[in-house]
Amino acid sequence: MRILQVVHWEPRFSYNNAAYFSRRDASVETLKLFAGEPEPDPRHYDAVIVYGGYMSAYDDAGNPWIPAELRFLESCLKAERPVLGICLGSQLLARLLGARVYPSDAPEFGFKRLRLTEAGAEDPALGRLANHPSRHFLALEWHNDAWDLPSGAVRLAESDAWANEAFRYGPQVLGIQFHLEFTQEHMAYAVAHNAGKLPADPEAEPPEAFAAPGARWDELAGNMERLLEGFLGARILSTGPAGRLCGRGIVENKISM
C-alpha distances in angstroms, 75 versus 40, 62, 93? 10, 23, 12
Residue 246: per-residue pLDDT: 34
255: nearest Cα among 13, 77, 26, 30: 77
Residue 45: per-residue pLDDT: 97
Distance separating alpha carbons of residues 254 and 70, to the nearest angstrom = 10
Residue 130: per-residue pLDDT: 86
Distance separating alpha carbons of residues 130 and 132, to the nearest angstrom = 6
Residue 203: per-residue pLDDT: 95
In the chain the domains, ranked by start, together with CATH numbers, are: 2-249 (3.40.50.880)
- For 147-175, b where at least 16 C-beta lie within 10 A, e where not — what string? bebbeebbbbbbbebbebbbbbbbbbbbb
| Distance, C-alpha 74 to centroid of its chain | 16
Which helix (H) or strand (E) segment holds residue 23: the answer is helix 18-23
Neighbouring-strand partners of residue 145 = 103
- Write the burial class of residue 104 (CB in 10 Å: 0-12 exposed, 13-18 middle, 19+ buried): middle
> 3-class DSSP state for residue 32?
coil
Mean pLDDT of the residues in the chain: 90
Which helix (H) or strand (E) segment holds residue 245: the answer is strand 244-245
Distance separating alpha carbons of residues 128 and 149, to the nearest angstrom = 22
The answer to whether the beta carbons of residues 147 and 164 sit under 8 Å apart is: yes
> 3-class DSSP state for residue 192?
helix
The answer to whether the beta carbons of residues 79 and 36 sit under 8 Å apart is: no
**Strand segments (E) across the chain:** 2-6, 27-31, 47-50, 83-86, 101-116, 136-147, 154-158, 166-169, 173-176, 244-245, 248-249
Distance separating alpha carbons of residues 147 and 19, to the nearest angstrom = 31
Q: What is the pTM of this model?
A: 0.90
> 3-class DSSP state for residue 31?
strand
Q: For the chain, which ranges sit under pLDDT 70?
A: 132, 234-257
Distance separating alpha carbons of residues 75 and 69, to the nearest angstrom = 10
Residue 247: per-residue pLDDT: 31
First CA to last CA distance, the chain: 33
Distance separating alpha carbons of residues 124 and 121, to the nearest angstrom = 8
